[in-house]
Structure 1
């Protein structure tokens, strides 16, 4: 079992814009005065540059082009609807926003298989949408794959019972808590766990300030320390700059890289950067348009592929 992979799936957007259906509980999204065409074109450029940078460090990137119909403004964030696991299983997840459900495409599975990966089974949770229950993949769930622990901050997009079901199906120990951000002086649930924490091989980046309940905070810290992770705490202000939305990947020669946006990188102080660099090289890329309009950053754009290779 490995915590990080050399292969990621990315979806090149076709209709990128601010998704009005997700903005109701994603407080990271912001409106801009730019035209739809300007926003889309900048997002395409940011996406292409990100892919290039990942390939340059030796990451295997499977790029799938999004389709112009149906309308899927958030297709650039595939990790919310699909996850790929070492045992050959694929998780498919129930989505809060109706237009995000249209992102699920069977042909994506075929494309991943055509890249030499074996899919043995599909674990499909999408029927939960009928009961208005949601669990948005590795947005809602942050996995410590080696230690078989799964972390989940409950929200409208992360139902506790569904999360427990996922943990039973994929054999993870559930670590459940609530995480908040201040929106107009009110504490509101953070929409996805992966904007406030990231777990790498030997360390974890986490906004502990977002966990208001002292007992829950203590429990999360205990589990991270038990698993041998050095904890790098970020502030709530840094979290708003997407400093929690990071993913460690494997480059060429088995070199680990922590991938983040330039916005996230610039928000870190020197001590945090030095601590990260003890463990991992850093790769950052400009995702300003995707972050501002989409409310997601580097980690959200990467669906890790852990599937076994086809024999």
Structure 2
């Protein structure tokens, strides 16, 4: 079995044209909040944050393919492409079933054409979107935290992550599922976290994780042991830090093979010195201000980046 790379130098990002709070996703994304401004102001601020973020990545030698959203599609969450698509080292592409109806319009085959024009090879498309007709969902690498090197897929089950679909994905792509439940406190109640990638990040040699969200001690032990078996240093964050998007991080490769852990400035400010030092033992930290995107979208830096592992022609 071919060894897979854990991190990539190539990222796909979708530039917003009509970004605003998505009411369809707010029903179970408890990170979303109202931002007191007109939609025009919100979109303008989101575009400024997006452009500055892309510039920071490119400055470090990360290849960023930027595609503009299409205004007529009315897709307020298009800025988070990692939920509907993933790209794999064998040339395959996976398309995922989405919880919110207006997010299903984000799936665009012209984006595959754009990547092929840039010299990426696409050999097959694995399409799970039929599950939407049965009310079953799996929102890409929002739900699936892929440890590619060790072929494990970590997933916290939620209304947006169906267990059977997780297992189907793992069978198709030859991953071992590590399935658990993760909760956050909302108005005094424990409720399922909508996406695993807000509470967990797996990098080459370490993992940032909010273990406090895994209420079942057996499940928590299973996740910890799985990470330890692969010699990952576990860097714990609190639930409070998770709410500052400190779990929503992604390790990428820049110029000269230099590695970066990418996060928002809000997430970075929530970390203590011990956590920062633990991360910096492995790689540099790159952070960017994403305040409006985080408040209105309920997602952060990791959600904005779809990793491209496709082979070059």
Match in the other structure for 1:53: 56
SS of 2:285 mapped into structure 1: strand
Match in the other structure for 1:40: 43
Match in the other structure for 1:11: 14
Match in the other structure for 2:229: 226
Q: Deviations over 1:184-222 (max 9, x none)?
A: 000000000000000000000000000000000000000
Question: Separation in 2 of the partners of 1:77 and 1:298?
Answer: 9
Displacement of 1:272: 0.1
Match in the other structure for 1:64: 67
- Give the counterpart of 1:189 among 186, 189, 192: 192
Question: Separation in 2 of the partners of 1:237 and 1:259?
Answer: 19
Q: Which contiguous aligned blocks of 4+ residues in structure 1 show a shift greater than 6 angstroms?
A: none
Mapping of residues 79-90 of structure 1, within 5 Å: 79-90=82-93
- Give the counterpart of 2:139 among 109, 112, 136: 136
SS of 2:106 mapped into structure 1: coil
Q: TM-score, normalised by structure 1?
A: 0.99
SS of 1:69 mapped into structure 2: helix
Mapping of residues 88-107 of structure 1, within 5 Å: 88-107=91-110
Match in the other structure for 2:273: 270
Question: Separation in 2 of the partners of 1:97 and 1:186?
Answer: 23
- Give the counterpart of 2:208 among 189, 197, 205: 205
Does 2:40 align with 1:25?
Answer: no
Question: Separation in 1 of the partners of 2:232 and 2:255?
Answer: 24
Aligned-CA RMSD value: 0.4
Question: Separation in 2 of the partners of 1:115 and 1:103?
Answer: 21
Mark the runs of 5 or more structure 2 residues left unpaired by the alignment: none
Q: Deviations over 1:1-25 (max 9, x none)?
A: 2100000000001110000000000
Question: Separation in 2 of the partners of 1:80 and 1:227?
Answer: 26
